[in-house]
Amino acid sequence: MSGEKEKSTVTSAPPSPSPSSVAPSVEFSKGINGLQKVILRESRGSSAEVYLYGGHVTSWKNDHGEELLFLSSKAIFKPPKAIRGGIPICFPQFASHGTLDQHGFARNRFWAVDEDPPPFPTNTLNKAFVDLILKPSEEDMKIWPHSFEYRIRIALGPGGDLMLTSRIRNTNSDGKPFSFTFAYHTYFSVSDISEVRVEGLETLDYLDNLQNKERFTEQGDALTFESEVDKIYLSTPTKIAIIDHEKKRTFVLRKDGLPDAVVWNPWDKKAKAMADFGDDEYKHMLCVEAAAVEKAVTLKPGEEWKGRLELSAVPSSYCSGQLDPQRVLQGS
């Protein structure tokens, strides 16, 4: 629904609308295994789906109805398993950087619709959006003894851009600060991983998860992929581009409050070892995850952190050697 006052009302688009006359809409319905989901639609035809389980975006389609996120055909929509694909939220721990289970617990908890969120500084005019909230249960407090309110706004802009804004507040009453690591674990859908390049991370330092998190420096060229990759790039720019030559599509990822970027593809061996991932599906996905990993975020009681991710998919007419990376990264 567009506009602050209309945010959680259930509506759907009229039956046969002319593309320009459809208002942005938000519809609540049942998804796989009866799990509740929210469908966002914007006026030119793009859409997104969000499961309350995990506060998890599972689909993002452009105005031609083409899916832009990868979701495994073997994804398991059954708690406590996290959904394989889309945009899992890693909080309060990224990967195994701590004592919690891999990637923390936000991705396998039931979030609630936030009926009355505090005002957002970002403009949501003409956007379809939903606000969700996660608060820890008593069980969660046993494994992570901190009180917090995690609010997320997931919004779809008129041009089909997908925006995720997370606000995490320390609501501890014991006066104690807490620290967390975080990632928007975005699975992009790509035509063929060997035809993809990532621009914006060249020459940066990274921690290699495949080599005991040792620190290395990336070479000067855009990243390309020919084997398993699991790297945490540090102090990354706010804009990163993923260029899919075969699809002639470029994803542009803009982020704020998230200094790191994780790049992950399991490749063939690890793909086979994952029960919820097809053997060959690694060819059609790439995770580029806006993250805060190297330096944990620390919040004192009453303090709030904000982390924002904005995704757009633009046509790119790339012919080998013609693309100017600076134009992709600097263009709006």
Closer residue to ligand BG6, CB minimum distance, 232 or 313: 232
133-152 residues near ligand BG6, rule: CB under 6 A: none
Contacts with ligand BG6, 227-246, as mask; x by CB under 6 A: ---x----------------
**Residues 164 and 193: beta-carbon distance below 8 Å:** no
DSSP 273-301: H-TTS-TTGGGGEEEEEEEEEEEEEEE-T
Active site positions, annotated: 185, 289
- As measured in angstroms, the least distance from the Cβ of 263 to ligand BG6 is 8
CA angle, 181 as apex, 118 and 174 as ends, to 5°?
Answer: 65
d(C-alpha 163, C-alpha 2), whole Å:
14
Q: How far is the CB of 321 from ligand BG6 (least distance, A)?
A: 32
Q: Both tokens of residue 187?
A: 């699975």
Nearer to ligand BG6, 82 or 242 (CB): 82
Question: Which residues within the stretch 172-191 sit at the binding site for ligand BG6 (CB under 6 A)?
Answer: 185
DSSP state of 100: S
CB nearer ligand BG6, residue 213 or residue 306:
213
Among 122, 126, 172, 209, binds ligand BG6 (CB under 6 A): 209
User: Considering the rule CB under 6 A, would residue 57 count as an interface residue with ligand BG6?
Assistant: no
Q: Is 180 left (phi over 0), alpha (psi -120 to 50) or beta?
A: beta
From 111, 184, 188, 264, residue interacting with ligand BG6 (rule: CB under 6 A)? 264
Q: How far is the CB of 69 from ligand BG6 (least distance, A)?
A: 15
Q: Is 42 in the site for ligand BG6 (CB under 6 A)?
A: no
- Binding-residue pattern over the window 289 to 318 for ligand BG6, x denoting contact by CB under 6 A: x-----------------------------
Rounded Cα distance, 37 and 230, in Å: 30
Provide the minimum distance between the beta carbon of 332 and ligand BG6 in the complex, in angstroms, as a whole number. 29
Size of the site for ligand BG6 (CB under 6 A): 10
- Residue 191 CA to residue 200 CA, distance in Å, equals 21
Alpha-carbon torsion, ordered 34, 35, 36, 41, to 10 deg: -90
List the helix and strand counts (H, then E) for the chain: 3, 20
If you ran DSSP here, which 8-state letter would residue 245 be given? T
Write out the binding residues for ligand BG6, residues 77-116 only, by CB under 6 A.
Answer: 82, 95, 102-103
By CB under 6 A, tell whether 260 contacts ligand BG6.
no
Query: Measured from the CB of residue 230, what is the shortest distance to ligand BG6 in angstroms?
Result: 5
* CA proximity to 185, closest of 37, 288, 57: 288
> What is the rounded distance in angstroms from the CA atom of residue 139 to the CA atom of residue 25?
35
Q: What is the CA radius of gyration of the chain?
A: 19
Told to check if 126 binds ligand BG6 by CB under 6 A, we report no
Identify which of residues 43 and 181 has a Cβ nearer to ligand BG6 in the complex: 181
Minimum CB distance to ligand BG6 smaller for 82 or for 286: 82
C-beta separation of 2 from 23 below 8 A: yes
Query: What residues line the site for ligand BG6 (CB under 6 A)?
Result: 82, 95, 102-103, 185, 209, 230, 262, 264, 289
